[in-house]
Structure 1
Amino acid sequence: MPIQTAKLSDPAVRAFVTALNAHDKDAFRAVLAPGATMADDGSERNLDEWTDREIFDSHGHMEVEKETAQGRGLVALYRNDAWGEMRTRWTFQVEDGKVVRFETGQG
């Protein structure tokens, strides 16, 4: 049973998922701290290039199945036009209400 985005525990993570699913690039960028970083499957990625390709240009969507780490860890079904649907894990580092780093990968 998926967790409704509005019920996610951490406000910054909730804003991240909400913006991602709405394909709202401005809201997505607003939840990220300046200089935010990310990794995909253990490899550092350019955040802007990765999010354009894997989220915005390919209509990414996250359906959260489980929260861990007080809402800063997620297990989700993630789908986009490039890769279809896969189970993914997401971890977030949040400071002052902004995501400073996120990591994702198949899980």
Structure 2
Amino acid sequence: MTIQVAKLSDPAVRAFVAAVNAHDREAFQAVLAPGATMSDDGTERNLDEWADREIFSSHGHMEVDNESKGGHSLIAHYNNDTWGEMTTRWTFTVEGGKITRFDTGQA
């Protein structure tokens, strides 16, 4: 059973998921702290290039199945035009209401 985006516990994570699902680059950038970093399957990535490839140009979409650690850890079905659907894990570091880092990969 999926968790509705509006019911996600952490406001920054909720805004991140909403921006991904709306393909809203401006809202996505607004929830990230300056200099935010990320990794995918344990490999550091350029956040802007990764987001363009994995979210925006490939119509990425998240359906959250589970959240833990105060809403900073998610298990989600992630779907995009490149990879299809896969179960993914997402871990967020939030400081001052902004995401400073996220790590994702297959669950």
TM bucket (normalised to shorter chain) is: over 0.9
Which AA in structure 2 matches 1:25? R
Q: Deviation at 1:62?
A: 0.2
Aligned residues: 107
The letter for the 1-side match of 2:21 is N
Number of the residue aligned with 1:30: 30
Residue equivalent to 1:20: 20
TM-score, normalization: structure 1? 1.00
CA-to-partner distance for each residue in 1:60-98, whole Å, 9 max, x for gaps?
000000001010000000000000000000000000000
Q: How far did 1:13 drift? A: 0.1
Cα root mean square deviation, aligned: 0.2
Amino acid in the other structure paired with 2:68: T
Report the counterpart of residue 85 of structure 2 in structure 1: 85
Deviations 1:14-58 (A, max 9, x none): 000000000000000000000000000000000000000000000
Q: Separation in 2 of the partners of 1:100 and 1:70?
A: 16
Residue 104 of structure 1 and its aligned partner are, at CA, apart by: 0.1
Residue 22 of structure 2 aligns to which amino acid in structure 1? A
Identity %: 73
Task: Please give the alpha-carbon distance, in whole angstroms, between the structure 2 residues aligned to 1:67 and 1:85.
Answer: 19
**Match status 1:39 vs 2:74:** no
- When normalised by structure 2's length, the TM-score is 1.00
Following superposition, the deviation at residue 8 of structure 1 comes to 0.0
Separation in 2, partners of 1:67, 1:47 = 23
SS in structure 2 at match of 1:17: helix
C-alpha distance in 1, partners of 2:55/2:87? 15
Unpaired stretches in structure 2, ≥5 consecutive residues:
none
| C-alpha distance in structure 2 between counterparts of 1:69 and 1:103, whole Å | 14
Q: Report the 3-state secondary structure (helix = DSSP H, G, I; strand = E; otherwise coil) of the residue aligned with 1:37.
A: strand
For 2:89 and 2:68, locate their aligned partners in 1 and report how far apart those are by CA, in whole Å. Answer: 10
